[in-house]
Chains A and B, each alone.
Chain A
Amino acid sequence: MGLLDAGITKHNMLITSVDNVLNWARLSSLWPMGFGLACCAIEMMATNASNYDLERFGIFPRSSPRQSDLMIVAGTVTMKMAERVIRLYEQMPEPRYVLSMGSCSNCGGPYWEHGYHVLKGVDRIIPVDVYVPGCPPRPESLIGGLMKIQELIRMEQIGISRADALKKLSEKSVDPQFIIERERKAVGA
């Protein structure tokens, strides 16, 4: 039951942990930096627009790195752009999260061998929390990645590092295969 369903009146009290409140606030207002580098940005914009409506998750692109919590690296990172990406990342206030969207920023994508000008994975220059595969990923995949960021934030506690939170997240990971099988059976496929 949610807070609103419980019917809060001015006489009620809620007791929770600081971790819970902080994490809830952070994951409910993930503000990504509004910048796109290539075709993935088109999918990202589609995800922000009315059909997929990211604002229902409190995700709303900001025009300044100073106001952003999340960097969605949407597209091919060229060597020329790499240094700008580092600078933008450094301008973001902590805690900050990085989502690498699409094959290009994951590993260089189609440019991995002959793309002399392409950085072969944005994780060579900044730490990446979540990778979304695809070329480009569909909006559903991007939303999946953003949900993963939210799960990561849920794992955080005061006094533990990002690495510990990522470790906790990976320990809680579920193999999706049986869910897929179950759903397939349910629809009789």
Chain B
Amino acid sequence: MEEGKVISQLVQESAAAYSIIHEKFGSAISDFDANGTMPFFEVVDTSRWTEIALFMRDHPRLKFNYMACLSGVDYPAEGKLGIVCNFESLTHFHHKLAVKVKCARDGGSLQSVALVWHTANWHEREAYDMFGILFTGHPELKRILCPDDWVGYPLRKDYKVQDQYHGIKVPY
């Protein structure tokens, strides 16, 4: 029971942080999801993502100064790609929040937050490398793990590996 109480308190703190963001951005963000592991919300109006990011980083009662992770996700059923960002506030608050942002699978793009949190620089490059998510405003958007001339985005659900790479057979 004790542990359950602690978790719910953390979620409450995250909910309080969410309400500050919701007050400012209203319907640009989705409802709060009180997920026990990682409470989150989704950015509905993706054109305001950088603005929301800066607000979350700089607001005196939010101070999300630490991006713990940025992961790419493929949602083939919805025809979308997305990112999930995990934020914490080091030395200021205990609240944690995850933010989801989605874009169209074909020809979609997201705003880059690489200049808000420098952590996002390489993480966005990884999301681009693995999922083909384009980040507008990223200072150096190129592949980070695969070779520059690699074909396709390996972590997409419908990925098929290329037959040859520089004359070397790739499949088993």
Task: Please tell me if the beta carbons of B159 and A116 are within 8 angstroms of each other in the complex.
Answer: yes
Option from A82, A83, A112, A117 in Cβ contact (under 8 Å) with B172: A112
A116 to B145, CA, bound (A): 12
Interface footprint category on A: 10 to 19
A123 to B168, CA, bound (A): 11
A79 in contact with B168 given A116-B159, A116-B161 (CB within 8 Å): yes
A83 to B149, CA, bound (A): 14
Option from B145, B147, B169 in Cβ contact (under 8 Å) with A124: B169
Task: Please tell me if the beta carbons of A113 and B172 are within 8 angstroms of each other in the complex.
Answer: yes
The yes or no answer to B4 lying at the interface (CB within 8 A) is no
Task: Please tell me if the beta carbons of A125 and B168 are within 8 angstroms of each other in the complex.
Answer: yes
Task: Please tell me if the beta carbons of B154 and A79 are within 8 angstroms of each other in the complex.
Answer: no
Task: Please tell me if the beta carbons of A83 and B171 are within 8 angstroms of each other in the complex.
Answer: no
A112 to B170, CA, bound (A): 10
A79 in contact with B172 given A116-B154, A116-B159, A117-B154 (CB within 8 Å): no
- Min CB distance A87 to B, Å, is 12
* Inter-chain contacts of A83 with B (CB < 8 A): 166
The yes or no answer to B93 lying at the interface (CB within 8 A) is no
A80 in contact with B147 given A116-B154, A116-B159 (CB within 8 Å): yes
Q: Give a binary string over A80-110; 1 marks a CB under 8 Å from any B CB, 0 the rest.
A: 1011000000000000000000000000100
Q: Give a binary string over B154-172; 1 marks a CB under 8 Å from any A CB, 0 the rest.
A: 1000010100011011111
A113 to B171, CA, bound (A): 8
| A34-92 with Cβ < 8 A to chain B | 79-80, 82-83
The yes or no answer to B16 lying at the interface (CB within 8 A) is no
* Inter-chain contacts of B146 with A (CB < 8 A): 80, 117
- Min CB distance B72 to A, Å, is 16
A124 in contact with B168 given A79-B147, A116-B154 (CB within 8 Å): yes
A120 to B169, CA, bound (A): 8
Task: Please tell me if the beta carbons of A108 and B172 are within 8 angstroms of each other in the complex.
Answer: yes
* Inter-chain contacts of B154 with A (CB < 8 A): 116-117
A108 to B169, CA, bound (A): 12
The yes or no answer to A149 lying at the interface (CB within 8 A) is no
The yes or no answer to A119 lying at the interface (CB within 8 A) is yes
Residues of A at under 8 Å CB distance from B?
79-80, 82-83, 108, 112-113, 116-117, 119-120, 124-125
Closest 6 CB pairs of A and B: A116-B161, A120-B172, A112-B172, A116-B154, A79-B165, A80-B147
Could you pull out 27 A-B pairs where Cβ atoms are within 8 angstroms? A79-B147, A79-B165, A79-B166, A79-B168, A79-B170, A80-B146, A80-B147, A82-B168, A83-B166, A108-B172, A112-B172, A113-B172, A116-B154, A116-B159, A116-B161, A116-B170, A117-B145, A117-B146, A117-B154, A119-B168, A120-B169, A120-B170, A120-B171, A120-B172, A124-B168, A124-B169, A125-B168
Besides A79-B147, A120-B170, A120-B171, 16 other A-B contacts (C-beta < 8 A): A79-B165, A79-B166, A79-B168, A79-B170, A80-B146, A82-B168, A83-B166, A108-B172, A112-B172, A116-B154, A116-B159, A116-B161, A116-B170, A117-B145, A120-B169, A125-B168
